[in-house]
DNA sequence: TTTCTTGCTACTAAAAACGTAGCAAAAGGA
DNA sequence: TCCTTTTGCTACGTTTTTAGTAGCAAGAAA
């Protein structure tokens, strides 16, 4: 079997299901990948080591985590520092867009019941 | 071979990588699935038929689209009406959380260049 | 009736995610 | 220094998810 390199979605280039190159499409592509949002979420409070991140994501396998971290670093949303992986300023900013996600999710939960 | 049923993430139940049952985790699980965010996005303006949605998502295959629609309907975010699939009130509300996504994505694009 | 369109299922192939094992480098003792 | 941990990560075989193509049944239009 042949290796397939995981394409990094970047604004300005066509992504899955869209040839426009619009930044929002790159963002939607990136965020639609498994674990991306979760990783950002887990880093919201403080930096975490590779292994701590793994734990936080329910023992996520290292190969997948490493892949995602590569994508997040390429996207300049996460970055590796002395105390582990941390959100960049950009990443923190993106996460604020979702700041009320918890609140909304609670409401959603009630509506579904 | 055995069928594997596509688990629908619901608040109150454990999801991938989290056993807490917290609504926000169910939401993160759901949104981390490919095409979910995109479909919501494409429906932001007006209802679309199954086939129009397929086109909008770059000829997304019907099997995948149908699966995702099932999940979105189970989550009460989308619902099938006379003129096709449309966001529910809940779905519209979730999308407003992402309303400034386009703007932020533009900024992101500039930062990456 | 014939011709389209629409929503969707069946089925196979390809890609992504999982899970486990484990290694090399750095850190922390003793 | 030598030994023990911890850490970040790669390899690789298995399982799950996603993709892609074909096509059918039901309804609308001609």
pLDDT at B2: 38
Mean pLDDT of chain A: 91
Pair type for strands B78-81 and A84-87: unpaired
The answer as to CATH 3.40.50.300 being correct for domain B35-105 is: no
Q: Looking at residue A13, what is its pLDDT?
A: 86
Mean pLDDT, rounded, for A100-107: 91
Q: What fold does the segment set A23-112 form as a domain?
A: Arc Repressor Mutant, subunit A (1.10.10)
E strand segments, chain A: 78-81, 84-87
Predicted pLDDT of residue B4? 40
The per-residue pLDDT for range B44-73, each reduced to its tens digit, is 999 999 999 999 999 999 999 999 999 999
In the structure encoding, which two tokens stand for residue B56, read together?
């909008």
Cβ of A86 near strand D (distance < 7 A): no
Residues B25/A58, Cβ–Cβ less than 8 Å = no
Residue B62 has, within 13 A of its CA and on its CB side, a CA count of 4
Residue-range domain boundaries for chain B = 35-105
Residues in chain A whose beta carbon is closer than 8 A to a beta carbon of chain B? 10-12, 16-19, 22-24, 26-29, 31-38, 41, 57-58, 60, 75-76, 90, 93-94, 97-98, 100-102, 104-106, 108-109, 111-113
For residue B92, the model assigns a pLDDT of 96
Which residues of chain B fall below pLDDT 50? Answer: 1-6
pLDDT at A6 over 80: no
Residue-level pLDDT at A86: 98
pLDDT of A100 over the 70 cut: yes
Region A78-102 average pLDDT: 93
Contact status, residue A34 vs residue B9, Cβ threshold 8 Å: no
pLDDT in tens, A74-87: 999 999 998 999 99
Q: What is the DSSP letter of A15?
A: B
Residue in A14, A18, A25, A38 to test binding to B, most B beta-carbons within 10 Å: A38
Specify the length of chain B in residues: 113
Please report the DSSP string for chain B in residue order: ------PPP-TTS-BTTB-S--HHHHHHHHHTSTTHHHHHHHTSSS-B-HHHHHHHTTS--HHHHHHHHHHHHHTTSEEEETTEEEE-HHHHHHHHTTTTHHHHHHHHHHHH-
A34-58: average pLDDT: 97
CA A2 to chain centre: 26
Q: At residue A22, does pLDDT exceed 70?
A: yes
pLDDT at A3 over 80: no
């Amino acid at each position: 079997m042949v290796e397939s390199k995981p394409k990094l979605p970047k604004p300005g280039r066509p992504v899955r299901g869209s040839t426009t190159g619009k930044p929002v499409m790159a963002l939607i592509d990136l965020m639609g990948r498994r674990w991306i949002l979760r990783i950002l979420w887990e880093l919201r409070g403080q930096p975490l080591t590779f292994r701590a991140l793994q734990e936080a994501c329910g023992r996520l396998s290292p190969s997948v985590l490493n892949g995602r971290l590569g994508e997040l670093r390429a996207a300049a949303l996460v970055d590796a520092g002395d105390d582990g992986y941390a959100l960049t300023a950009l990443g923190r900013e993106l996460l604020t867009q979702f700041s009320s996600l918890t609140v909304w999710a609670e409401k959603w939960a009630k509506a579904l019941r």
